[in-house]
Structure 1
């Protein structure tokens, strides 16, 4: 009897992701209450992220007054965040909660590739946003000539294509030589060569951070100079500086969410994906995808007005796309 109890306890403690597969990973068993709480949090974060970014996407797409170069960049960033909320957060949540990957080896690689591409595209969007704000603040008279919707659309296409190409290069071994990935069945991790890891660190953190920060230092120096020495500042100039400040906050929040992740990666290595620190920093990164719409809601009155019209279904009224979202201009 005593031996039977010991055997039952052992079967509870050790479970496998795929019991019928000899190469299966071990499944971590959690208390039922913990499962419920984690799934509620995961679903809530996913729905919240999708909902907020859909508001941004619908607002900019629907209302004609929001069809500006800067807002097109914001739209592209919202699309990347929407993908995170719609695909990345739910699947990574299941993987974290169940400690198993149930969606197959092939989809694991496709999923990892998608995550990588979205991250690169988001960084590219932030770089273009910084350049846009730099031109708007330092050369406001020629801004409308130098920065147009067509030029921004071209830059966004290049950004997404470059992100995809870079991801293919980084994932070359994993995509075309999957046998090089040493992992048990039910695990979804991708290991990189050391030189790829260093290259990725430079491309995805050091280089864009240096460019963005240097541009924003110049932006705020110019803005401070204008505020100090120009007595009659036009409404347009004030608007450009406010936009630069708001988008600067977006950039700072982005790097605040990503830097802890890269610190953990440097300390633990790209192959360590089970530590508490790694999982915490990953979820901080995912939370960043719902932060941008909240920043827009705090600082952009047009976003609050457009969101109100969307939620009350007033966008279905005739000519609603021509609504004036900037009543202070009248």
Structure 2
């Protein structure tokens, strides 16, 4: 069996991938765009640093939702510049998502450990600068992923990819887990002291901070649950040369399924926002009413004309 057997996709598989990608892509793009519009429209959301980070996480979700659809409809079975660019965008979005979750963890750690000095330490200016640096770094890294091609052999077949990428991923994941475990410990420790430490005027702010902290913990759990299976399949790589057709087929379907689960995380995070944070539920309802009202006035004016 030749080395290209692991990418030989049948017509049936391509049709299944197409419809799954279209379904997940539409849901992910719509839900994340809707969340971004809510954050941009309502001041009580965009004024918080955590929500700015969540907005950028939703931008990553839009990229993760749209790029698989493009890649499936442009599938040629061969490595080329187009597929390399799509792969680089996916890599940038995935690692940017991990870095944003890491930054959200730092943000929540400071909010839990020092509620009074939180607004001094975590300002929108500092957060914006950190996000710009992260986006530039991820895009540069992903462009290197696309540009490092030799005779249509991508970086994933080189020693650099096999060593640096899993190591980089492991460092980020362990850092994220360590920070969020620290948040849980600190959050539990300070939860009982909050009523004794602060006067009644601080209770609403403390309650909102708790909602954000719990929400980010759910985001972490969902993202890791969808990220780790894909990384396991990626690190293991395709079967060895000379393996049976069944082994290659198993690897191929494992790759399809884990990628579908990974890209499904693009809209599951929005469900977390809706079910764990009252401010997001209110924003979703208000924007939906506003959209309905605008559509009603538009059709009424059109019919009247």
Determine the C-alpha separation between the residues in 1 that align with 2:103 and 2:269. 16
2:233 corresponds to: 264
CA contact (8 A) 2:8 2:77 kept: no
CA contact (8 A) 1:59 1:307 kept: yes
Higher relative CO (Cα under 8 Å, sequence separation at least 6) belongs to: 2
Residue 229 (structure 1) shift: 4.0
1:63 corresponds to: 42
Determine the C-alpha separation between the residues in 2 that align with 1:300 and 1:270. 44
2:160 corresponds to: 195
Determine the C-alpha separation between the residues in 2 that align with 1:58 and 1:139. 30
Determine the C-alpha separation between the residues in 2 that align with 1:103 and 1:191. 14
- Structure 1, unaligned runs of 5 or more: 1-24, 182-188, 318-330
Q: TM-score, normalised by structure 1?
A: 0.75
CA contact (8 A) 1:50 1:85 kept: yes
SS of alignment partner, residue 140 of structure 1: coil
2:181 corresponds to: 217
Residue 219 (structure 1) shift: 1.2
Q: Alpha-carbon deviations, 1:190-241, whole Å to 9, x = none?
A: 633123222101112x111111111111111111111234443633223222
SS of alignment partner, residue 141 of structure 1: coil
How many residues matched? 274
Determine the C-alpha separation between the residues in 1 that align with 2:64 and 2:210. 30
Residue 113 (structure 1) shift: 1.4
Q: Which has the higher helix share?
A: 2
Determine the C-alpha separation between the residues in 1 that align with 2:9 and 2:207. 56
Equivalent positions of 1:234-249 (< 5 A) are 234-249=203-218
Q: Closer, same or farther in 2 for the Cα pair 1:315/1:29, shift >3 Å?
A: closer
Residue 164 (structure 1) shift: 1.4
- Structure 2, unaligned runs of 5 or more: 1-6, 241-247, 295-305
2:81 corresponds to: 106
Q: Please tell me the root mean square deviation across aligned C-alpha atoms, in Å.
A: 2.8
Q: TM-score, normalised by structure 2?
A: 0.80
